[in-house]
Amino acid sequence: LYTRDIEKRIARVTKFIKDAQPVTVVFRVHKDGSMSGLRLVRSSGNAQADQAALRAVQIGAPFRPTPTK
């Protein structure tokens, strides 16, 4: 699945974030795989972990183009 690939790319970076509560971010992936609108929607309570999560998505982008039907 396409979303699984995105999760794996981000997880490669976030595995280095230790002892933090979950962070929730949202972003849009465009047809060409570019990303926009990245924002934090639920903080972990740890500013460093929150920033690391945002950075992990930025590092993971661009993603591969979205699949066509």
pLDDT (tens digit, 9 = 90+) per residue, 31-57?
A: 999 999 999 999 989 898 899 889 989
Structure confidence at residue 16 (pLDDT): 63
Tell me the pTM: 0.81
Cβ count within 10 A of residue 22: 9
SS3 of residue 40 by DSSP: strand
Residue 18 has pLDDT above 70, yes or no: no
Residue 13 in contact with residue 60, Cβ under 8 Å? yes
CA distance 61 to 32: 11
Cα distances (angstroms) measured from residue 8 to each of 13, 19, 69: 9, 20, 22
